Chains A and B, each alone.
Chain A
Amino acid sequence: MRLHKPWRLLYALPLIFLAIFYFYPLLSILSLSLMPQGRLDLSGVQALWTRPYLAQVLWFTFWQAAVSTGLTLLLGLPAAYVYARYDFPAKSLLRALTTIPFVMPTVVVGAAFVTLLGQRGVVNDWLMTAFDLTQPPVNLLYTVWIILLAHAFYNATVVVRIVGGFWANLDPRLGEAAAVLGAPRWRRTWEVTLPLLLPSITAASLLVFLFCFTSFGVILILGGPLFSTLEVEIYRQTVNYFNLSLAAVLSLVQLAITFVVMVVYTRLQERASLPLNLRPQSMTTRRPVSGREWLLVGGVNTVLVVFLLTPLLALAVRSVTLGPGPPTLRYYQALGSSPTQSVFFVPPIEAIRNSLLFALAAVALSLLLGLISAYLLAETGPGGRQSRLARALDPIFLLPLGTSAVTLGFGYIVALDQPPLNLRTSLALIPLAYTLLAMPFVVRSILPVLRGLNPRLRESAAVMGASPAQILREIDLPIIGRAVLVAAVFAFTISLGEFGATLLLYQPRYPTMSVVIYRALSQPGLVNYGQALAMSTLLMGVCLAGLLLIERVRVGDVGEF
C-alpha cells in the first residue's frame, strides 16, 4: 500500500515529533552524563562503582526484578497451562478478569496494596478482630516482600497472555506422540513442551523483567524511603538533591540496560521462530474430565482471581468504609474541597479535570501521529513486502516502549528548559510525554489491521472514481475504525494513570490524579488517606471501563497487545 505523493509528506510529522521529543532529550542525557562541562568527562560514570551506594541501588534493581520475574512465572505458568489446555465455564470472563491488574495505573496498585496489606489495612483489621490482637500482625509495607507481590500481581497477566496464547496453539499431538513413544508425563514436559514453550517463556520473562526493572510507582509507594531502584534514584537525585549530572548517568545506565534487554528480546523472537504447526484453539482445549483436572482448573483460577482481585476490591470497599461509622461517601465529597491540613494548593477534584484534559490532548495527538506512523509502517514496496523505509523505521517506533517514563521526564527537564525550546514551565510538556508513551501502543493497535487491509478494496474504489480522500473516508476509516477506537482507549488509560514522567514534570498548581494519590498516600491523616483511596477508586473505575470497551470493540484477537 502507498499513499499518494502529497499525502506522504505527512510522514515527516511523527518523525519530527520523535526527533524533538524523544531523541533530543535522550541525547541531552547522554551529553550531560558523559560531557557535563562540554568535554568528555567520565568521572560521573565512575561514580557507579566508586560509590557503594550506587552499586547497591543497581544490585537491588537487578535482583528485585529477577526475583519478581521468578515469582510472576510461578504464578503465571500454571494459569497459562490451564487457559491453554482446558475449556471451562466462564473462561473468557475469568480471562478478562485476570487482565485487569495490567491496565491499572501504578498509583492505583500502590494504593490497593497499602489498603490490603498496610498497617491499617484490611488484612490486619480482619486478623486483629478475628484473633483479638492488639498489634497488626502483618507488617509488609515498606519491605521488599510487598514490592515483589505487587510486581507479581502486575505482571502475571503478561505470562498468562504471552505463554498461554502460544501454548494454546501448540499442537497437543506432539506431547501425545512422545507419550506413545514411551515418555512419562515429566519427560513429555521436560523434553517436548518446555523446549517448545521456551521462546514464549523467555519473551514473557524478559518483558516482565523489563517492567520490574523500570518499576517506579510501586517501589516509591510500597517500598518507602529504604528502597531505591535506578528509576527511583533518578527521581530522587533530580528532585530531592538536584544532582542532574548523577541523574543523567543513572538514566544512561537505565537506557543502556533496557536497550540491551529489548535487543535480546527482538533477537530471541526472530531466532525462536521455529515453523511450528500451530493449531486453532478449538482443537487444543478440552473440558476437564477427572476430579483432579477440575481441582487443578478450579484451584488455579481461585488463586489467580483471589490474588489479582482482592487488592482492587479492598481498595474500592475501603474507600467507602474507611474510618468509624457506617459506609460513607465523605472521602469522595472531600475531593471537592481543600481542607487546611491538605497537602494541595488546589481542591483534588481539579486534579481530575487536569488529568482528563492532559489525557484528551494526548489521545488526540497520539492518534494523529500514530495513525500517520501506522500508514508509514504499513507501506509496501514492490512485491507486496514491507517497504525498505518502513522496515528501517519499524524498530524506531517501538523504542519508546522500552524507555522508562522517569528517564523520559528527566530528559525533558534537561533538554527542553532552554531556548530554542523552553517548555519547562509549559503545561504542554505533560501531554507531550503522554503522547510519546502512548504512541507505540497506538501504532501497534492499528498496524495489524492496516496491514491486513486488502489493497484490492482501495484499487476497486479508485477505479470506480474515488479520490484518495474519499478512499480514506469510505474504505479505510470504516475498517480501521475499531482499531482506532481501541488505540484511543489505550492512549487514554495510559495517559490518565501515568505517574513516572508526571511526577517529574507536573506544575504544583496543576497536579494530576496520580500525583494527588501519591502525595495523599504519603501524608498522615485519615482524610488524606481516604481521599487517596477515593481518587484511586475513581481512576480504577475509568481504567476498568476502558478495558471493557477494548474487550467489546476489539475484532477477534487482532492487534499486538
Chain B
Amino acid sequence: MLEIRTISKSFGVTPVLHEVSFEAGRGEIVCLLGPSGCGKTTLLRIIAGLEQADAGQVLFAGRDLIETPVHQRGFGLMFQDFALFPHRNVYDNVAFGLRMAQQSKAVIRDRVAEMLELVGLTGYEARRVHELSGGQQQRVALARSLAPRPALLLLDEPLGSLDRTLREDLMEELRLILKHAPVGSDAPAGITSIYVTHDQQEAFAIADRVVIMNAGRIEQVGPPLAVYRQPANPFVARFLGMHNLLPGQVAAVLPDLLVATALGALRCGRRTARVALGDNVVVLAPPDAASLAPPSAGEAQNLLQGQLLAVSFRGSQVKITLKVAAGAPLVFELPGSAADDLPDPGQPLRLALDPDGLSLLPAE
C-alpha cells in the first residue's frame, strides 16, 4: 500500500534521514519508534507532504506522490497536541475535511455523527474545543482525521500530550478504532496507519509492525514480539529497556554456543544470529533471565558473581542491582518470593543465567 524508498533529508547541514525504506500493507498499523530527534516525525511529515524529501520516493498504491501537494494526497494526520481549530466547535472541526471535499450538507451531517459515535463523543457537537479534556480533544482529532475517509492515517505521538493513566486506557481503544474504522465501501474495515511514538510500550500495544529508528536510520523492522525477543543490535536492546549487555567473543560453536565474557563463559541456548568462532558479540541478558544460584552449584557456566548493590521490592517482583567485576552494574528482576533469600545489600551474591533467555547481538 505505502512504500517508502530510500528517503534522505537534511535540514541545512544537519542530516535527519538517511536512505530510509519500509513498507506498510493495506490495513496494517506500522509504528515508527525511536528516541526524540531520530527523524521519525520528519519522515511522517514527508509522507504527509508537509516536508519535501531531498532524495527518495514515497509511493502509495503504486503511485509516486512527489508531485502531489499535501492537500491532494487524501491522507489523514493527527498531531501530537491535536491542532484542533480553536475558533470552531467540535462539529465544525470534524466536518472540516468533508467540506474541503465538497460533500453535501446531509452527507457531512451523517458522517460527523458516525465519527462522533465511533469515538464516543455523540452530543458534543456544539462544544468549543477548549472546553474539552485532553482525552476528548484526542478523540475529536481522531474523528476529524478519519471523517474524510483517508486512504492512509498518519499519527504523530497522538497520545504524547496525555497523562500516563489516560494514555494506557486509550492505547487499546485506539488500536480497536483503527482496526475497525469504516474506511470505504470497497475496502475491508481497518485503516492503514503510520504511528509515530517514542514510547515502546505504546508501540507494542498498537502496532502490527514496528520500525525502530535511530539517528535517521532504521535499526530494525518486525512484529512487536519478535523485536522484543530478538533485538537486532545493542541500540535496540537498550532502547527497549534491556541494559544488561555483556561484550564477549565466541569461544565455541558446537555442541553449545559459548561466549567468553569478562564475567566468565556464558552458554547461549538461542542461536539466532549466524556466528563463527572468534566473532566479537554482545550477550543480552534480559532482566527476567536470572535466578538465585543454589549454594550447591560449583564453578559452573552461566554463573554471575557479584556484590548486591540495591534491592527494590516491587510486589510480585523484586528488582536487584548487582555490581560485577567488569562493566556497568546489572539489573535483574526476580520473583517476589526470592526476596526472603536475598542477602543484605553489600554482601556477595551469585546468580544463574538461563541459557535459553540469553540472546546474541552483533558487537557495537
Contacts and interface: CB of A to CB of B under 8 A. Distances in A.
Nearest to B74: A182
A179 B85 contact: no
Given A176-B50, A177-B77, A287-B12, A183 B100 contact: yes
Interface stretch (A123-131, A228-236, A274-282, A296-304): A274-282
A277 B79 CA distance: 13
Interface string B167-205: 000000000000000000000000000000000000000
Interface in B22-71: 48-50, 52, 69-71
A506 B326 CA distance: 89
A: interface residue count bin: 20 to 34
Given A179-B50, A180-B76, A181-B145, A171 B83 contact: yes
Nearest to B80: A173
B144 A181 contact: yes
Interface string B1-38: 00000000000100000000000000000000000000
Contacts of B70: 176, 179-180
B79 A181 contact: no
Given A176-B50, A187-B100, A275-B130, A181 B86 contact: no
B81 to A, nearest CB: 6
Contacts of B100: 178, 181-183, 187
B130 A181 contact: no
Nearest to B141: A177
A177 B97 CA distance: 10
On chain B, which size bracket covers the interface?
Answer: 20 to 34
A192 interface: yes
Contacts of A452: none
Given A180-B76, A181-B145, A182-B97, A174 B85 contact: yes
Contacts of A276: 86
Nearest to A192: B85
Contacts of A277: 81, 83, 86
A182 B130 contact: no
B72 A180 contact: no
Interface-central residue, A173, A275, A287, by most chain B CB under 10 Å: A173
Given A173-B83, A274-B130, A178 B77 contact: no
A176 B45 CA distance: 10
A178 B83 CA distance: 9
A336 B252 CA distance: 102
B97 A181 contact: yes
B137 to A, nearest CB: 10
- For the complex of A and B, 8 pairs with smallest distance between CB atoms: A181-B97, A182-B100, A180-B77, A173-B83, A177-B83, A179-B70, A275-B130, A195-B87
Interface of A: 171, 173-174, 176-185, 187, 191-192, 195-196, 274-277, 287, 289
20 contacts: A173-B81, A177-B77, A177-B79, A179-B49, A180-B49, A180-B73, A180-B75, A180-B77, A181-B96, A181-B100, A181-B145, A182-B74, A182-B101, A182-B148, A183-B71, A183-B96, A196-B86, A274-B87, A275-B86, A287-B12
Interface of B: 12, 48-50, 52, 69-77, 79, 81, 83-87, 96-97, 100-101, 130, 144-145, 148, 154
